[in-house]
Amino acid sequence: MGTETFDLIILGSGSGNSLVTPYWDDRRVAIVDSGVFGGTCLNRGCIPTKMFAYPAALSAVPAEAARLGVDLGFGGADWPEIRDRIFSRIDAISAGGLHYRDVELEHTTVIPEEARFTGAHQLTTSGGRVLEAEEIVVAAGSRPVLPEVPGIHRPQVHTSDTIMRVPRLPEKLVVLGGGFIAAEFASIFSGLGSSVVQVNRSPKLLRHHDETISARFTELAARQWDLRTGWTLSRIEDGRGGWVSVHLDGPAGATQQIDADAVLIAHGRVPNTDRLDASAAGLDVQDDGRLSVDEYQRLLSGGQPVAGLWSLGDISSPHQLKHVANHDQRIVAHNLEHPDDLRANTLGPVPAAVFSRPQIAAAGLTEEQAAAEYGRDRISVKVQDYGDVAYGWAMEDTTGICKLIADRQTGQLLGAHLMGHEAPNLIQSLVQAMSFGVDAHSMARGQYWIHPALSEVVENALLGLDVPDSGWL
């Protein structure tokens, strides 16, 4: 079998798939991916999880309505109907994308195999095909982390890759982890009717978020499902009736056992760099496993960019977020097509959301980070309750908050952290202000805010900051 030569090789069919623009119509392109076409977000990540999160959130409506004098009921969830509705749509999109790239486009070839570097511009697939190209983009993503404990590969043990396709709603689910994946799935399955036990080693959930958000969410999670902190997984054994026994180690030598019919391992994700043999191409790899790139998304070797080698998404970004991967892709696409006019990846603060109950959104620095970077005396912090604005009164909201951090000297927003109803939507105006340098007072007074919309919680938080008056009345 001879060497196959392409103009562009893309490792990964997620955001990397969008690199195939009309610019490449008269060139040969290969997309190499051994997984399901479309990548993690479409098939196993953000899209299906949110399609589960929304119906799960509806299960909380009866309790909210009861506080307002409205009698609603929750009769249960039809798991197969929900699951099949979601994946019948997603699987069709994935299949359609594969057919379009591999069959309809004459210049594009999809190779459903793993590939590793065997030279700076050469790849060898698991099937023995040798591929070469002047331009190679590594967009191979990440995968769930599995702890090395006995019983981890039992069929009842799942990751985010598999838990959404289980044949029936688990009667009892153990969720191991305290990050956003664990929070979302605990919310989903408890909302749909499973008995959920969440186990976390550290005392607080979402520990990478602002301390106020982390502490409040941990408290609210414990009200909604069985939360056990300070425990670590030691092993998983067979139990009765097809269930498993989850064994945990705690403080001072304490142990406990939880019997469940399903287990979700949500210990984060790791870049797929270790599957690429990056050393064969001389590529720099960071301590956390990410490929090193420069500001133009070029891969590095010995700290210097390698001509024709690029990367995007989870495998090289510290932000495992689809919107970040998509922006990386736009940068790489431009730079591939305009080598004499390279654009740097300089976008502003990265926002992120957790579609849990309640929802959470964040952008910029936490209070702790801002104090460390600017000094405690230079920052102003305001925590505004949802319940202090008119729409919050209408909702009888007692838990939602908007927390803002700003520079006292300039009025520039440094961080925004929301928890509550529609937090991922409410934060967008704050992301816009941080990205375009609009100071807090100008944002609050330089435009109308609809009364009595929930967005007034953002307005009031801005006005509560101790920052310079910009001159707006």
Q: Are 7 and 133 in contact (CB under 8 A)?
A: yes
- Portion of the chain with pLDDT greater than 70, in percent: 100
- For range 404-409, the mean pLDDT: 98
Q: What is the largest CA-CA distance in the chain?
A: 74
pLDDT tens-digit profile of 421-441? 999 999 999 999 999 999 999
The pLDDT, as a whole number, for residue 422 is 97
Q: Which has the closest alpha carbon to 174: 149, 144, 198, 192?
A: 198
C-alpha–C-alpha distance, residues 57 and 359, integer Å: 10
Enter the pTM of the model: 0.96
Under the banding of pLDDT at 50, 70 and 90, the label for residue 202 is: very high
> How many angstroms from the chain centroid is the CA of residue 104?
32
Q: Are 265 and 152 in contact (CB under 8 A)?
A: yes
Q: Which has the closest alpha carbon to 388: 341, 447, 329, 452?
A: 452
Q: Which of 99, 208, 338, 451 is catalytic?
A: 451
- For range 307-329, the mean pLDDT: 97
Cβ within 8 Å of residue 35, ≥6 positions away: 13, 43
Under the banding of pLDDT at 50, 70 and 90, the label for residue 118 is: very high
1 has a pLDDT exceeding 80 = no
Annotation marks residue 421 as catalytic: no
Q: Are 60 and 9 in contact (CB under 8 A)?
A: no
pLDDT tens-digit profile of 73-96? 999 999 999 999 999 999 999 999
